[in-house]
Structure 1
Amino acid sequence: MKTRSITEGAMLAAITVLLTVIGEYVGLPALIIPVPLTLLVFRHSYRLGISMSVASAVVASLISGHVLSGVTIVIWGFLGIALGMALREQFSFAKTIAVGVVANIVSLGLQVLFYSLLFGTNLFEDMAKLFTSSFDQAITFYQSMGATSEMLGQLEIMRTTATMVVEWGLPAIILISSVVTTFINMAVVRLILQRMGTQVPWVQPFVYWRLPRWSGLIFLLSLALLSYGRATEGLLYRIGFNLMLMQVPALLVVGIAIAWYFFNRWRVPTVLRLVLVYFIIMGPLFLGVVIAAVVDSIYSLREPAPTE
């Protein structure tokens, strides 16, 4: 059994190194680097996961010729080990996601600290400057191409809005990215474990996704804070802004789930479904599905999900 665990650990460590090095040279984000470590910790132990994380970091640093690859594995390995332990302890889906979100935030904090020690600057400030610079370059490009003043004005509005979202909505952005990253890793791990004949806790089918009842109160609170703090744009306004920024994507997803439920019920053709979802995302039906999701959190608009 010990030989088997070491062999499996070595294989998963090699996959971790491969994902890290390829991601670094191709420019892909390190989204699924934690997956091999999650599998290793789930199937064996966190001690073996930590050992293989360190070994992977050393090998990746030797292959790439610098320590950044190794540090990436160590930092993201924290998420992989945390998810593996949560699955090993048979946590529910919600608890596992919560563990992953906390671990992801810790990993992000470690990245910011390492970046600060290495370059002497703040990672988020540099990202905001890069974001603003990209918009400036786009505006300059369109000016050189003879774009109309109306189009340039729209780009300027987009730049102002995007800059405000990045600067004011950083807590919400961090939380949303942590949830998405954890969910992606959980989905990949679940897919692999299913092929191996192992079941792990998972969310109910998409058409039955629903937000908890208190989310409706949070939505109303965010509206109140935005309205009350609009004059000064102080702390209360920023709190409301972040609450709204966190809720809108979730409400949109749940709103699409509600729409898809009725698409199934009315047997709407696939092409028409895609067209309607496009209009939901792009604006004309956006507000309607968001309101539907808020109402659904308080009073369910759908039949309960069938029990297995």
Structure 2
Amino acid sequence: MQETSPNIQDLSDRSREVFRRVVEAYLETGAPVGSRSLTRAMSEPVSAATIRNTMQDLEYLGLLGSPHVSAGRMPTEAGLRLFVDGLLEVSDLAGEERELLDGAAATESEVPALLDRVGAALSGLTRGASLVLAPKHEAPIRHVEFLSLAPDRALVVIVFADGHVENRLFTPPPGQTAASLREAANFVSAIAEGRGLSELRTVMTREIANRRQEIDSLAASLVESGLASWAVADGEPDRLIVRGRGNLLGGDGTEADLERIRLLFDDLERKRDIASFLELAEGGEGVRIFIGSENKLFSLSGSSLVVSPYMNADRKIIGAVGIIGPTRLNYGRIVPIVDYTAQLVGRLLSGRT
């Protein structure tokens, strides 16, 4: 097998057609494709033996593989990437699909409910699991408070200038006192007022380093714990809306397939590294496709992620929408659906600001 995958231009016309038909048949059926079935699909008459030789050449190039010796061929991850980049034909968004998405967003409601409905519609249309990363709340901060709930549990409350309030539970350092809680809250509030969360994290890290001798060490630990709780919350659980995970269990999956899905579900439950989800989309406008191990978020499950950022009225990326499913997704149909959904969410949220 070659170490570097070829470009689509490197393939002969016959190799390109055989490759395209194998991938298209695999994406449609999920099954390996045999040479005999391809003889009936080729644009010009070609013997099964010739097709077998061509498929072997494509296998040597790392574009096709076989589950076992006697089986047909199926695309590798490198083959799917080459197909997506060089041969994928993206269809137009169907009118009924557009209407379904528009209808899900038509009812006026709070942003979380709106994004949940859009995510459910996206999942229903694609038969995959939809991921919607909600926008961060970046209004200036008015006040911060730390409240003790138990020796091992505390609550940090942040009040924004626009009246929005967020609460986060966190584990405080051992030996906290009422005085240390007040000192920590006063320290944070003095620095935080008028700043957004993103700026606050940077400023607080610098201030703690500069003023560590001026504040009680326990209060410093409380500040850092509270800051850490917001760093997690700002990038992970409450911002991610997942709908349609059950769709990933459809079909007659093998035991290995079900194990990959279980790993995927574990990732979704823990929502690890979800801050990376937005980073995946920050490379530029438009839809991006991550196939199998290319997608560091869900690489263990061997799934594909189709993701697109959405922007506010200032053309700033504030969130993302996507679909996760098996690598044999109907990319040509799903790409325009994800693209339209991202544009729709961006327009809706821009109209609320």
Q: Structure 1 or 2: larger strand share?
A: 2
Common topology (TM > 0.5): no
Q: Structure 1 or 2: larger helix share?
A: 1
Q: TM-score range, shorter-chain basis?
A: under 0.3
Q: TM-score, normalised by structure 1?
A: 0.23
Q: TM-score, normalised by structure 2?
A: 0.21
Q: Which has the higher contact order (CA 8 A, sep 6+)?
A: 2
